[in-house]
Structure 1
Amino acid sequence: MSGLHQITRVLDFSLGRARSQEKPNHGGFQHFRHFFRSFFLGVLLAAPAHSAELPSPLTDDDFIAFDRKQAALGQLLFYDRILSGNRNIACSTCHHPVLGTGDGLSLGIGEGGEGLGPNRTALVDDNRIKKRIPRNAPGLWNLGTKELHTLFHDGRLSISDDYENGFNSPAEEWLPEGLNSLLAAQAIFPLVAQFEMAGNPKENEIAGAVHNRIDASWPILAKRVRVIPEYGKMFVDAFDHIDEPGQVSIAEVGNALAAFQAIEWTSFDSPFDQYLSGRKAALTDAQERGMGLFYGKGNCSSCHSGKLMSDQEFHAIGLPPFGPGRTRRFDPMVRDVGRMGESDRLEDAYRFRTPMLRNVELTSPYGHNGAYPTLEGIVRHHLDPDGMLAKWQPKRLHFPTHRGWNQSISWSIRICVKWPGRPGFGMSSGFHFPIRKFTDLVAFLKALTGTTSVSSPSFGIPDRVPSGLPVDRP
């Protein structure tokens, strides 16, 4: 017997006893009984059923307090191509606000490409780039929270004292001193990544230094910036311990970039956030029903948990394989093993970090490799990974090609790896949604989109940058 059926039986029994004790010829009891039963069940059915508790609302206290002068400096650095090896790409190229702080591509076209977003080209003939970026560019929302302890799809950067510098990172013990946050540490790694911003060996002094040792390039980048008079003055004004531009190191560059990103893309004013803060009318009926599924039978909150809507752990959900892969040293197969590439533990194979979900509507495509261009697609995949993988087609990708460029590399993983046998394959909620409930769940995900935080950022896109190089614009 269902729980609802049991409740109606109890109601009928209680009302029946009341009827047996009433005085004869007391009119209107049947009408009262019908009204009370209907009213009670209406309230019961209208209330969303949450098998998991809703999180506490995010507040300003959940975020690191960054300095606004440093953020104003970081804004210019974020949009300035001076930080790339060949001076041809900025942080904003792959994380642009008009594209939800991503690039709108399944797999990005980094150093050497031209253009912005889905219109970015890989060039042609002798000028074409050699390799796509192997993973999707993640959004930058709420990366300044105190609770955040792990970054990158595979978690290769985390707060840790393994190397006695506060972080476990690809630079290990060579990570520069003075970085004031996880976000600041993250900010300096794309600058020295070959296919992201550094370029190829022999092309420039940055790429050449990285080829020697990862920390050899950061002092060169810091000098590039501080010798520009406008930047030099801003560093002195923004940092109390900097008395003259010659003292500026990559740590100040990273700290300024972190301050800008944290302040610019803090977002907790979505309809869902308003609901958590007590404004129950902030959600539509469909969004509230979707919230009930998210925190109930859909089991979404088992991974997308807490204030950040992420457990910051790693899970394998069986996304379709494609792209150049992120091959490990000594690995004979072209593949992306996810967390195992960092941990070297077999049980971590093909697991990727649970993304946070604020503004998820804005950050397509979805998945560590951007396999699905829509929220509907990635949600369906979570519900039925085996079925969705079987019918997935490359035409779903936001994956521009130019004159047949890079086709063999783009599909090398798909050719080389027997993916269905991998650990963790086949994860799903175990709950099959009818169409209406599926639509409600997607509606709830769209209720995570910020309002003023999205439409009116603190800084915006600068008109110019001190280097004089072009600024990325749509």
Structure 2
Amino acid sequence: MSLRNVKRLRKTTVYIALSAIISSPAFATVKSDFSDKKLRHLLKYHQVKPVDAPAPRDPALVELGRNLFFEKEVAGRRNISCATCHNPLLGSADSQSQSRGQGAIGLGPHRRGDGDEFFQFLPRNTLSLWNRGVEEWDTMFWDGRLGGTTETGFFSPADPFTPQNFSNALSAFSIIPLTPDEEMRGFPGQLDVFGQPNEMSELTNADFPLIWPLVTARVTNEEGYDELLADAFPGLEESELDISHISEAIGAFMEEAFTALNSPFDRYLAGDNSALSKSQKRGALLFYGRANCASCHAGGLQTDLDFHNIAAPQVGTGRGDAAPLDLGRGAITGNKEDDFKFRTPSLRNIELESPYFHNGAYAKLEDAIRHHLNPKDALDNYDANQIEPELAGLFQNDKVTINRLLSTVDPALYIRGKPLNDSDVQDLMDFMHALTDPASLNMLDIVPDKLPSGLPLAD
């Protein structure tokens, strides 16, 4: 045998041996161990720990809250409930870019204006309710206009009338959606579903101390709630109940129903290396590494509960005096540096709650992810046809607005190293799937068969 053939045989033998080693289960375990070691190092660096679930709430309080959550009696026209926008079968949101309030009928993506002259789009996308009852969650709404803790006290647009006897920010949350005319209260001149006057309609959105007793009376005057109220608040006369008790009950139900902490990622955080697939681990390595997602989507819930300008497309109705723009946090603080900032959403169950961003600008999660990677390019190529037809024409894509958005875009939006390719984005998508708690996929069991008021669950 020639020397050349001997060398060739040696190379072939070495190649076969290496191939056998690489393809062996033992080598796969070594690769997996290396990947897990690196990922766990990143998780420790970013202080990502298992999330503690809230303590169980009083079952009687939860049951009262469950009925109130689906109850239309609390709305001025008796036509909208909390579940209208926070549907448990739609990821605790409503699958609309911007929710349709008064003057609309139906649920979820099928909800439409019914020709009512008072029809209104609500100015923002409905936020989900997942894990809002965990201890660290102390702000609510896209702009953080309500929040607080039992130690610091609670604040809201109703200050100085904000009640203080809540367990957490989630329990305080329900006092606000009840009051706006375009949301749950109804407009002047509108009758309720029975053709009767709405005693709340002639008030203004700022009349919190006058609206709340009327909502409370709707519940306490309904015989179907007598036993539920007595069980939830033993020792209290109905005359002693106020809006804080109503909201506390709804909050207790939301806490019990929408705590979702058994995703594959939760199991991985608890120490199970097999809980994530290879692509999900690659996505996690990108998320906590080169893609820099964790700079805002921090901690176990993937949110820093802070506010950032990610140059979201200014599409839809806008909000307040700035409409058709939405200044977000800037409208609350009055500080121009806060313009276009919105609270970082948690990514738990994120695949269940499309569309995305404060105005539902993106129908698909992948497109929302790609926006973060290059906001300028995303704005230049944004297709407004992916949102509701009535809103698609309300896209502020003039140069002044675009430049204003990009001039204050958050510096946290940058990639460490080379840009992400399509394969990287797919790995990130796979990691997003690992944040879904399987128990959240079917929540039909929490929907009551009927309501104490006798009003229908659906329109």
Other-structure match for 1:199: 186
TM-score normalised per structure 1: 0.83
Contact 1:143 1:266 in 2 (8 A): yes
8 Å CA contact retained: 1:101, 1:363: yes
Superimposed CA distance per residue, residues 24-53 of structure 1 (whole angstroms, 9 cap, x where no aligned partner): xxxxxx89x979997889946851544732
Please tell me the root mean square deviation across aligned C-alpha atoms, in Å. Answer: 2.8
Q: Does 1:429 align with 2:414?
A: yes
Structure 1 Cα separation of the partners of residues 177 and 232 of structure 2? 23
Structure-2 separation of matches of 1:109 and 1:471: 17
Give the letter for the 2:132 counterpart. L
Residues 1:305 and 2:327 aligned together = no
Conserved in 1, the CA contact under 8 Å of 2:319 and 2:325? Answer: yes
1:339, 1:350 within 8 Å by CA — same for their partners in 2? yes
Give how far 1:139 is off: 0.6
The structural deviation recorded for 1:434 is 1.4
What is the aligned partner in structure 2 of residue 94 from structure 1? 85
Paired residue secondary structure (1:167): strand
- State the partner residue of 1:216: 210
Amino acid across the alignment from 1:341: A
Give 1:282's match in structure 2, choosing from 250, 275, 288: 275
Amino acid at match of 1:147: E
TM-fit CA distance, 1:289 = 0.9
**1:5: which partner in 2?**
none
Between the aligned partners of 2:396 and 2:226, the Cα distance in structure 1 is 46
The equivalences for 1:392-431 within 5 A come to: 392-397=382-387, 399-401=388-390, 411=394, 413=396, 418-422=401-405, 423-425=407-409, 428-430=413-415, 431=418
Q: Give 3-state SS (helix, strand or coil) of 1:418's partner.
A: helix
Return 5+ residue gaps in structure 2 as ranges: 1-13, 191-197
The number of equivalent residue pairs is: 427
Q: Distance in 2 between matches of 1:149 and 1:376?
A: 29
The one-letter code of the counterpart of 2:436 is T
Match of 2:352?
Answer: 362
Residue 194 of structure 2 aligns with which residue? none
The residue identity in structure 1 corresponding to 2:230 is: V
Question: CA 1:241–1:357 in 2, change beyond 3 Å: closer, same or farther?
Answer: farther
1:311 partner letter: D
Task: Work out which of the residue numbers 324, 337, 351 in structure 2 matches 1:347.
Answer: 337
Q: Show the counterpart of 2:7.
A: none
Residues in 1 aligned to 2:206 and 2:254: alpha-carbon distance in whole angstroms? 30
CA distance in 2, matches of 1:417, 1:214: 38
* CA positional deviation for 1:419: 3.2
Distance in 2, Cα, partners of 1:89 & 1:35: 64
Amino acid at match of 1:157: L
Note the 1:437-448 alignment, pairs <5 A.
437-448=424-435
Corresponding position of 1:471: 457
Match of 2:35 in 1: 47
Runs of 4+ with deviation above 3 angstroms: 33-46, 48-52, 412-417, 453-457
Equivalent-residue separation in structure 2 for 1:199 and 1:276 (angstroms) = 46
State the AA in 1 paired with 2:86: H
Per the alignment, do residues 460 and 80 of structure 1 end up closer, same or farther by CA in structure 2, a change over 3 Å counting? same
What is the correspondence of 1:138-177 to structure 2 with a 5 Å cutoff? 138-159=127-148, 166-177=153-164
Deviation of the 1:346 alpha carbon: 1.6
2-side partners of 1:195 and 1:417: how far apart?
A: 30
Amino acid at match of 1:207: S
- Distance in 2, Cα, partners of 1:327 & 1:417: 20
DSSP-derived class of the 1:395 partner: helix
Is the partner of 1:441 in helix, strand or coil?
Answer: helix
CA pair 40-75 structure 1, distance change in 2 beyond 3 A: closer
Counterparts of residues 15-414 of structure 1 (less than 5 Å): 43=30, 47=35, 49-50=38-39, 52-54=42-44, 55-60=48-53, 63-124=54-115, 127-159=116-148, 166-203=153-190, 204-211=198-205, 213-242=207-236, 244-328=237-321, 334-397=324-387, 399-401=388-390, 411=394, 413=396
Distance in 2 of aligned mates of 1:211 and 1:348: 25
Secondary structure at 2:446's aligned position in 1?
A: coil
Distance 1:141 1:212, change over 3 A: closer
Q: CA offsets per residue over residues 9-35 of structure 1, 9 Å max, x none?
A: xxxxxxxxxxxxxxxxxxxxx89x979
Structure 1 residue 400, shift from structure 2 partner: 4.9
CA deviation digits over 1:203-253, x for unaligned, max 9?
3322323456222100001001111112122111111341x3222211110
Letter in 2 for 1:230: G
Report if the CA contact (8 A) 2:314-2:395 is conserved.
no
One-letter code of the match for 1:462?
P
User: Using a 3 Å threshold, how does the CA distance of structure 1 residues 47 and 261 change in structure 2: closer, same or farther?
Assistant: same
- Return the alpha-carbon distance in structure 1 between the equivalents of residues 85 and 304 of structure 2: 25
Which residue identity lines up with residue 102 of structure 1 in the other structure? A
Cα offsets for 1:310-344 (capped at 9, x unmatched)? 0000111111112221124xx5x642111111111
- Return the offset for 1:472: 2.6
CA distance in 1, matches of 2:289, 2:20: 28
Alpha carbons of structure 1 residues 448 and 212: separation in structure 2 relative to 1, 3 Å: closer
Give the secondary structure class of the aligned counterpart of 2:147: strand
Question: Hey, what's the Cα distance between the residues in 2 that align with 1:188 and 1:400?
Answer: 31
Of 200-209 and 180-189, the range deviating more from structure 2: 200-209
> 2: CA distance between counterparts of 1:129 and 1:300?
41
- Aligned residue in 2 for 1:16: none
Cα deviation code 1:273-330 (max 9, x no counterpart):
11111221111111111111111111111111112210000111111112221124xx
Measured after TM superposition, the shift of residue 455 of structure 1 is 3.4
Q: 1:461 aligns with which of 436, 447, 459?
A: 447
Q: Deviations over 1:53-73 (max 9, x none)?
A: 25111233xx24422211111
Distance verdict in 2 for CA 1:416–1:287, change over 3 Å: closer
CA distance in 1, matches of 2:443, 2:334: 43
**Residue identity opposite 1:438 in structure 2:** V
Change (3 A) 1:334 1:375: closer
Contact 1:304–1:356 (Cα < 8 Å) also in 2? yes
